[in-house]
């Protein structure tokens, strides 16, 4: 009977391993949320779980908990092999042999005992206490892997209690004594399975499947065997020698499992020091990338080129574009994409296409680290694939909901709810990354204020300062420049209205967008068409000339997480007038390198503009201050910081100073 029970327990372990693989893939694609219930893979995993639980219950009715329950640890080896973790075979072998010898000793020494209601109640109270410990850890930690381990451990406790209840029900069924008195046991099984399943799904969302299974198959048998030994009295006739042998075997199995849990990444280079010249293979996932013209796209390109120039093997995954060109030193992989009807210059990927293509690329590239630039379609699925494969991940946020409201024509009364939903979705996606960054301390604070649970790190986008230090012939009249997308949140209309109130001032506007035609009409209505010029999109060289020939820079936008255009103007040695909103006060120091004005206060903007337009010595002094302030945002420093963060994501110790904003 015991041999048959062991055979059934092994079959149950196979079902659990296959279920873990299927459900992890489903959760990795959608996140641990209700929509996963519609995923065929998740439902297939659920069917295997039910089958495995049935076989396991039959085994528990034939042999003591101490014999049956530890066999489930075989699922970790099976899952690791399905994940092709061949380098971890020694750890798998250690786990398997430890469990096998444990079962051999336990089967000859454990005594089957009857599970009575009082014992079930006591075991339930103990289980609640044991679930609370890892549950609190999961709630408090900001590390995705630690959270995955904590959730899986709590799930293991719940499943361990299920084994006690299953044994009680199995005994009653075999003895023909099952009745209404055992209904509480059945309800307890259902509740424990539901709680354990919920916890395990969150574990899958934070790490690879073999990590979750490793924790489950350690905690589950330890809890079950502990309850069997100390509450059910199954170890009453255990000899001291056999007890020591069981302890040694269980310790070996536990060590093997933790070795697997500590080695989930095939590509870790533990010998890599911070800011080393050793080459990494870095995958950058970007939902917007040149030829797109916006701050996030330009940053992604600078990051890719800068890392390539430092000797890293850089690959970018981004939507395709008919206007795309090659980028020297960087390999760009383009995913199938489509034009947005309300913003034709921006392309998007369909989720069901991007998920397959992104997963195939990540698996084929086998990067050392993945750095995603958004939580939209491309970034989401590249991050999911990397987490599923145990690849170190870093996520950088450039997103503010306000930047999308005008494009998507979201009604004002829905914007508050949409904003909350958008940040909740961002937290769910980026919460799986090993490290999260944002361009400024204000951007980091915005994430935390909006409910992001983890501690993000401020890292400036950085710019190549020397590139903007060129000399050209200045305009005949004092010129104020704006560079950026001509969209609602940029508020260029305020710049135009202020310019109309400053006689003798000239304006240049570089960029295009949904509001360009409207603002050209506004300039005509204000009677300043002879004093303002709309350039539209310009070449990189023409943009550098525009920065060089202007006398000051104006940024009236209210949704700037850092504002690369403002940084570029400062690198060109220009004073800045900017809205006192979001991250702009991190760049503009009033009275030192420019002035701030309250958003919407056109009179104040006009006064600031008048002061600088008619005071050349002040412009020179403030321009020099801009050059000094921007020196702390050099691209080389940014690249060093990201290299340090890559090392942190890969599990290495990083000096705190290397991560300063």
| Confidence label for 148 from pLDDT (cuts 50, 70 and 90) | confident
pLDDT value for 107: 56
Which tops the pLDDT comparison, 535 or 49?
Answer: 535
Least confident of 9-18, 348-357, 561-570: 9-18
Query: Is 340:348 a contact under the CB 8 Å cutoff?
Result: yes
**Mean pLDDT score of the chain, rounded to an integer?**
79
Share of the chain above pLDDT 90, in %: 38
In the predicted structure, residue 402 carries a pLDDT above the cut 80: no
What are the structure tokens assigned to 559, written together?
A: 């949704």
Q: What is the mean pLDDT of residues 156-177?
A: 67
pTM summary value: 0.58
Mean pLDDT value of segment 407-417: 64
113 pLDDT exceeds 60?
no
Asked if pLDDT for residue 191 goes beyond 70, the answer is yes
Cβ neighbours of 28 (radius 10 Å): 27
Confidence of residue 208 (pLDDT cuts 50, 70, 90): low
Higher pLDDT, 573 or 340: 573
pLDDT for 40 equals: 74
| pLDDT reported for residue 393 | 96
Whether residue 265 is predicted with pLDDT greater than 60 in this model: the reply is no
Distance between CA 574 and CA 619 in Å, rounded? 7
pLDDT at residue number 112: 54
pLDDT digits (tens, 9 = 90+) for 272-281: 334 344 789 9
Give the pLDDT mean for 617-638: 94
pLDDT digits (tens, 9 = 90+) for 559-577: 888 899 999 999 999 999 9
Integer Cα distance of 496 and 503 in angstroms? 12
Q: What is the mean pLDDT of residues 324-346?
A: 82
Residue that has been written with the tokens 């910081």 in this structure: 641
What pLDDT is stored for residue 339 in this prediction? 78
β-bridge pairing 343-348 and 338-340: antiparallel
Average pLDDT over residues 378-398: 94
Give the model's pLDDT for residue 268: 34
Q: Is residue 109 very low, low, confident or very high in pLDDT (cuts 50, 70, 90)? A: low
Over range 288-317, report the average pLDDT: 92
Span 225-248, average pLDDT = 66
Instruction: Please state which of the ranges 154-158, 395-399, 456-460, 604-608 shows the lowest mean pLDDT.
Output: 154-158
CA neighbours within 13 Å on the CB side: how many for 522? 16
More confident residue, 65 or 430: 430
What phi, psi does 260 have (nearest 5°)?
A: -65, -40
Residue 283 is predicted with a pLDDT of: 97
Q: What percent of the chain has pLDDT over 70?
A: 69
pLDDT of res. 597: 97
Closest CA to 637 of 467, 465, 470, 469: 465
Q: Is 653 helix (H, G, I), strand (E, B) or coil?
A: coil
Whether the pLDDT of residue 504 is over 80: the answer is yes
pLDDT for 659 beyond 50: no
Mean pLDDT value across residues 53-60: 72
How large is the average pLDDT for residues 418-423? Answer: 80
The pLDDT value given to residue 151: 78
Alpha helices in 491-613 (DSSP H): 492-500, 516-526, 540-549, 564-571, 602-613
565 or 94, greater pLDDT? 565
Beta bridge partners of 540: none
- Position 417 pLDDT exceeds 80: no
Mean pLDDT of 123-127: 70
Q: With helix as H, strand as E and coil as C, how does 16-74 read?
A: HHHHHHHHHHHHHHHCCCHHHHHCHHHHHHHHHHHHHHHHHHHHHCCCCHHHHHHHHHH
Domains along the chain with CATH numbers: 2-262 (no CATH), 281-462+640-659 (3.40.50.2000), 468-633 (3.40.50.2000)
Q: Give dist(CA 364, CA 317) in Å, integer.
A: 13
Tracing tokens 């100390």 back to the chain, one arrives at 230
Query: Is pLDDT larger for residue 491 or for residue 121?
Result: 491
Q: How far apart are CA 240 and CA 84, in angstroms?
A: 40
**How confident is the model over 460-468, as a mean pLDDT?**
91
- Reduced to 3 states (helix: H, G, I; strand: E, B; else coil), residue 509 is strand
């Amino acid at each position: 009977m015991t041999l048959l029970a062991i055979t059934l327990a092994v079959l149950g372990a196979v079902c659990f391993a296959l279920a873990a693989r299927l459900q992890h893939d489903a959760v990795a694609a959608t996140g641990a949320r209700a929509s996963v219930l519609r995923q065929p893979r998740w439902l297939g995993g659920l069917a295997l779980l039910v089958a495995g639980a049935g076989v396991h219950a039959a085994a528990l009715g034939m042999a003591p908990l101490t014999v049956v329950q530890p066999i489930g640890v075989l699922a970790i080896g099976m899952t690791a092999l399905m994940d092709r973790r061949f380098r971890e075979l020694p750890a798998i072998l250690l786990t398997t042999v430890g469990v096998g010898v444990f079962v051999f000793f336990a089967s000859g020494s454990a005594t089957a005992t009857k599970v009575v209601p009082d014992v079930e109640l006591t075991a339930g109270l103990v289980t609640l206490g044991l679930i609370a410990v890892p549950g609190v850890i999961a709630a408090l930690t900001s590390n995705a892997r630690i959270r995955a381990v904590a959730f899986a451990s709590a799930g293991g406790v719940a499943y361990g209690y299920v084994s006690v209840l299953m044994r009680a029900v199995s005994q009653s069924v075999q003895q023909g004594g099952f009745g209404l008195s055992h209904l509480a046991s059945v309800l307890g099984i259902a509740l424990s399975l539901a709680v354990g399943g919920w916890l395990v799904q969150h574990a899958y969302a934070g790490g690879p499947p073999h990590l979750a299974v490793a924790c489950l198959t350690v905690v589950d048998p330890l809890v079950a065997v502990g309850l069997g030994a100390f509450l059910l009295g199954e170890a009453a006739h255990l000899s001291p020698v056999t007890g020591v042998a069981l302890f040694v075997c269980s310790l070996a199995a536990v060590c093997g499992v933790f070795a697997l849990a500590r080695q989930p990444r095939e590509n870790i280079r533990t010998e890599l020091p911070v800011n080393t010249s050793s080459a990494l293979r870095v995958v950058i996932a970007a939902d917007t990338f040149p030829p797109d013209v916006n701050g996030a796209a330009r940053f992604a390109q600078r990051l890719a080129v800068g890392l390539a120039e430092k000797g890293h093997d850089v690959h970018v995954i981004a939507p395709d574009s008919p206007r795309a060109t090659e980028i020297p030193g960087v390999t760009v992989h383009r995913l199938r994409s489509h034009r947005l009807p309300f913003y034709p210059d921006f392309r998007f990927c369909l989720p069901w296409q991007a998920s397959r293509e992104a997963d195939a690329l990540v698996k084929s590239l086998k990067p050392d680290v993945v750095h995603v630039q958004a939580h939209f379609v491309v970034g989401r699925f590249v991050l999911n694939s990397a987490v599923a494969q145990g690849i170190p991940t870093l996520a950088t946020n450039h997103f503010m909901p306000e930047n999308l409201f005008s494009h998507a024509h979201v009604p004002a009364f829905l914007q508050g709810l949409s904003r909350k939903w958008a940040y909740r979705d961002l937290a769910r996606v980026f919460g799986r990354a090993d490290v999260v960054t944002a361009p400024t301390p204000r951007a980091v604070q915005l994430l935390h204020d909006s409910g992001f649970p983890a501690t993000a790190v401020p890292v400036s986008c950085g710019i190549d300062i020397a590139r903007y230090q060129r000399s050209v012939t200045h305009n005949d009249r004092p010129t104020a420049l704006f560079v950026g997308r001509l969209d609602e949140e940029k508020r260029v209309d305020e710049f135009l209205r202020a310019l109309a109130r400053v006689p003798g001032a000239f304006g240049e506007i570089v960029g295009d967008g949904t509001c360009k035609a409207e603002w050209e009409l506004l300039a005509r209505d204000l009677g300043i068409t002879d004093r303002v010029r709309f350039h539209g999109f310009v070449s990189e060289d023409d943009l550098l000339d525009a920065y060089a020939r202007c006398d000051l820079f104006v940024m009236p936008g209210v949704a700037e997480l850092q504002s690369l255009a403002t940084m570029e103007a400062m690198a060109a040695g220009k004073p800045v007038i900017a809205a006192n909103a979001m991250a702009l006060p991190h760049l503009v120091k009033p009275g030192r390198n420019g002035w701030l004005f309250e958003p919407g206060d056109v009179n104040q903007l006009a006064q600031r503009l008048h002061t600088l337009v008619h005071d050349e010595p002040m412009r020179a002094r403030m321009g020099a201050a801009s050059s000094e302030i921007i020196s702390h945002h050099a691209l080389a420093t940014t690249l060093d910081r990201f290299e340090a963060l890559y090392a942190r994501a890969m599990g290495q110790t990083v000096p705190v100073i290397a991560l300063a904003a």
